[in-house]
Chains A and B, each alone.
Chain A
Amino acid sequence: MRITLLLGTLLTVMLAPAFLQTAAGQAAKAQSTAPFDPHDISGVWYRTSPIQTFSNVYNVQPDLPPNLAGARGRGQVFAEAPFTPAGRAALEKNKPGYGPRVVPPAFGNDPMGTCDPLGIPRNLNAEVGSSHTTWQIVMTADRMFQYFQWHHDYRVVWTDGRSLPKTDDLDALWNGYSVGHWEGNTFVVDSIGFNPKTWLDKFGYPHTENMKLQERYRRLDHDTLELTMTLTDPEYYTKPWESDRKLFKLNGSPIREFPVGEPFIKNWDQQVYCVPSEEYHFNQGVRDSGAGKNSVR
């Protein structure tokens, strides 16, 4: 009797997630048929594609030892970017806390570790998990606003028909200078004028101030937004480098609520600033102490 009860409980625990996923999937499928305007990509979108780097491309034949993979990226190896020698040299100067080239952040130089702005395209990766995998799009008559939960940052994409200025006319901007237009049902954003202090992603991929970036947004159904990006930066990359296909779900979609049973929207606008003074305190007291850089005060 006791064994039967135990087995029953075990089976229930094992099968419950599958049941919940099926139920969520059916609900999502039902909602995905809801009507939508393909030229309206407004909404709070949360990332569902994994890994959170610019390219997210797996190498077919992994050739890096496991100890070079990050704590969370263990066993995941990525295809390399089409670097120029200068690009590879720039990559080597960047010491990330994630990925195949992970170092303890105490000895790294990820701009995030000092609360520097992530910039574009890194903000678009929605790399910071939990409630801040989201960004919000608001479209007005002459511009698109994109709000990022991390650092409570935002960028403007002009849609009033203006052309991009000359790069030489721009000072380096953390989020670049962006204009957008529609090509069929695809919203195309072209940007220049980026600050080279930012990384493309948390793996430390670099860019110059002459990088040109094109983002292509397409609403696949009521609940799903697709983003692909292509950067052109001849000094660091021998050819245009395409991102992987990033997918986002509309907030409130039943596919993934967080936590279970509570709509994601309740977690919106937590004003997640990275405060330099608090970050410094944490780095001194926890991050660096744990890496042997100093003692806990």
Chain B
Amino acid sequence: MSAERICFLPLGLALLVTALPIAAHHGSNPNYAWDRTITVNGVVTEFQFVYPHVSIYFDVKDDKGNLQHWSSELGPTPIMMRNYGVGWSKNAIKPGDQIVLTCNPTKIPSNVCQGKKILVNGKNMPLQDPKGAAGEDGQAKQ
């Protein structure tokens, strides 16, 4: 894991972006540290735009220049399939794309995180409904 490539956001911003956790339907909620946020830069190797989980796989260079394989869950599929008007589709992200991913890390050290915000080749692709819609209990989830 590269210290250069992963930075912790200021607490206030971290709390803001984690205010509405997007929880997978049965994926891995207990895995994540919802109160922490990291930002990772990487190159996409695979994008899965399928039910019930949208997931992305990418490579991150560590501080020695070695590639580390990472993965992340993104937004709830049915919500992303509404595409937010920004073009979410199976072709929205392609291998080779550069991403900057802000996400909740796992509780244990790992190369997995829960996506909160993503820049794809510099373009912000919302992972939550910009209209503020949420599921029951105030949470968007699948």
Chain A residues with a Cβ under 8 A of chain B: 47-48, 50, 70-72, 97-98, 102-106, 110, 112-113, 128-133, 202, 258-262, 267, 270, 272-275, 278-279, 281-282, 285-287, 289-292, 295-297
Contact = CB atoms under 8 A, between A and B. Distances in A.
B69 interface: yes
Interface in B11-63: 21, 23, 25-32, 34, 48, 50-53, 55, 57
A130 B75 CA distance: 11
A103 B30 contact: yes
Nearest to B29: A71
A103 B141 CA distance: 19
A129 B129 contact: no
B112 A259 contact: no
Nearest to A294: B110
Contacts of A273: 51
A71 B79 CA distance: 21
B4 interface: no
Interface of B: 21, 23, 25-32, 34, 48, 50-53, 55, 57, 69-73, 76, 78-79, 81-82, 106, 108, 110-113, 129, 131-133, 135-137, 139-142
Contacts of A286: 27-28, 53, 55, 71-73, 112
A72 B78 contact: no
Contact of A72 (B29, B48, B76): B29
Contacts of A47: 136
Nearest to A273: B51
A296 B51 contact: no
B26 A112 contact: yes
A10 to B, nearest CB: 15
Contacts of B55: 282, 285-286
Contacts of A102: 30
A278 B137 contact: no
B69 A105 contact: no
A71 B23 contact: yes
